[in-house]
Chains A and B, each alone.
Chain A
Amino acid sequence: MRRSGTRFLDATLLAATIAAIPAAIWAAMLYAPTEQTMGAVQRIFYFHVPSAMVAYLSVAVLLTSSIVYLAKRDLKWDDLSLAATEVALVFCTLVLITGPIWARPAWGTWWTWEARLISTLVLEILLLAALLVRRYASNRDLGARLAAILGITIAADVYVVHKAVEWWRGMHPQVFKEGGKGSIQTEMQTALLICTVSITLLCVLLIRLRYRTARIETRTQTMILERAEEGD
């Protein structure tokens, strides 16, 4: 029953993502020049940075859908929250895996006390906890409400935690320093741009797919509940 417009958009999104991912791998592995001091390991940056960006993008989606759910009480917004939480968790995990792999040769340590590291870890734990609360809740509406409250607090918290640890001590490379002295070469910038676009497409596609599955699950649940009431 879906309108042909959405179907066309979905197909375009899928096709674009399928085309974009090989392009991203090409850009990161072949097109971008090898960094002089860090060597080949620096190439992980082309996936690490976009993953972090889309993790925050998913948290922004989560914040919006949580607020709208509490205002409107339409379960489709909760389905969107669920999709955004899970996708944010996936990309957050990618950031936490790729980060240390790069940090070990570059900083000489897997893990350190640093703003983005701690705030990403806090984000990961809170997203997991939100999924747990949702699962433990005895019914759908309760889970949706509690998850929406947590969605709002998570979004607020990630910002505050980041600021706090930044004051405490900062050593994460500032890639996008304002008025930067052109530390990133043009080709590297292009490669990063290609990767960012591809990973963003992948993120949107994943949220979209997860959202559709969640919609189907919700409809099935509602149908089962209605049947059970009719049977009584």
Chain B
Amino acid sequence: MNPPGFLTSSWLVARKDMLLEWRTLDTWSSSAIFAVVVLLVFQFAVAGGAAQQLTGADLVPGVLWLAIAFSSVVGIARSMDSERQGDTLSALFRSPVDRGAIYAGKLVANCIKLAALELVLVPLAIVFFNASLAGFAWLKLILVLALCSFGLCALGTLFGAIVSRVGRGEALLATLLLPSATPLLLAGVTATAAVFHGDELTTVTRWLGMALGFDLLYFFLALATFEFVLEE
């Protein structure tokens, strides 16, 4: 029997991850609860004093991206942790598939999980901070979220595997991922602010272009180096 091709094997890895997630809701529940807590803490931070004259449109972009960044760390660490417990990552490595495909599969799964998280997070942030979005702004927001979250997952999947190989959890992953993702977070905050202020996306083309460049750079960098992480 021939080993499956790149796309098939990445799909199989992604499907396995999604199936596990669907049956346990393990990652989603831990990171969603964490994200809601982050939103809640920001409520305390900005409720009184100097921040009073800021509107929801001023607050939501920053708060939303901080919540996404922190909870993605929790989510990715969680999903890698379950691979480590059963030593299933080395089992995957021994299977006759392209190592890049394992990365791609895990990346797809992580992206879907983060998207499911954002599905909850965005409405909650809007409600908590009293912002509003009209009509097409939703589509723009989805585009911005997709562009910037992809890079976060691309880098997070690589770093998550590295951290799981040395057996340390969230703290080390946060130390690696959050500073590295500074450009993405800046792009995300700027573009989301433009959406909430009702501006056209053309005003932030440069930022979206940078997010796309970052996505591609880290996707290919991780695709090329992932096999060295898994190696025995």
Contacts and interface: CB of A to CB of B under 8 A. Distances in A.
Contacts of A129: 172, 175-176
29 contacts: A122-B180, A122-B182, A125-B179, A129-B175, A133-B163, A133-B166, A133-B172, A133-B176, A136-B168, A136-B172, A145-B228, A146-B165, A148-B228, A149-B228, A149-B229, A150-B162, A150-B176, A153-B155, A153-B225, A156-B218, A160-B183, A160-B214, A160-B217, A161-B180, A161-B182, A164-B182, A164-B187, A165-B183, A167-B206
B221 interface: yes
Interface string A127-159: 011001100111000110110111011001100
B180 A157 contact: yes
Contacts of B221: 152-153, 156
Contacts of A168: 186, 190
A148 B226 CA distance: 12
Contact of A145 (B168, B176, B179, B229): B229
B87 interface: no
A32 interface: no
Contacts of A121: 179
Nearest to A142: B165
A149 B165 contact: no
Interface residues of B, number: 30
A152 B206 CA distance: 25
Contacts of A133: 162-163, 166, 172, 176
Contacts of A137: 165-166
Given A132-B168, A133-B176, 10 more contacts: A118-B182, A125-B175, A136-B166, A136-B167, A136-B168, A138-B167, A152-B225, A153-B221, A164-B183, A165-B186
Nearest to B177: A129
Contacts of A136: 166-168, 172
Interface in A107-125: 118, 121-122, 125
A219 interface: no
A152 B166 CA distance: 18
B210 interface: yes
Contacts of B187: 164
Given A152-B225, A165-B186, A146 B180 contact: no
Contacts of A118: 182
Interface residues of A, number: 31
A30 B162 CA distance: 50
B183 to A, nearest CB: 3
A163 interface: yes
A122 B184 CA distance: 14
A70 interface: yes
Interface string A6-37: 00000000000000000000000000000000
A126 interface: yes
A207 to B, nearest CB: 24
B182 A146 contact: no
Contact of A122 (B167, B179, B190, B229): B179
A149 B162 contact: yes
Contacts of B162: 133, 146, 149-150
Contacts of B168: 132, 136
A161 B155 CA distance: 14
A138 B166 contact: yes
Given A138-B167, A149-B158, A149-B162, A163 B182 contact: no
Given A126-B180, A163-B210, A132 B165 contact: no
The winner among A143, A160, A163 for most chain B CB atoms within 10 A is A160
A72 B186 CA distance: 37
A156 B179 CA distance: 13
Contacts of A145: 228-229, 231
Nearest to B230: A145
A70 B228 contact: yes
Contacts of A164: 182-183, 186-187, 210
Contacts of B207: 167
Nearest to B176: A129
A168 B183 CA distance: 10
A121 B166 CA distance: 24
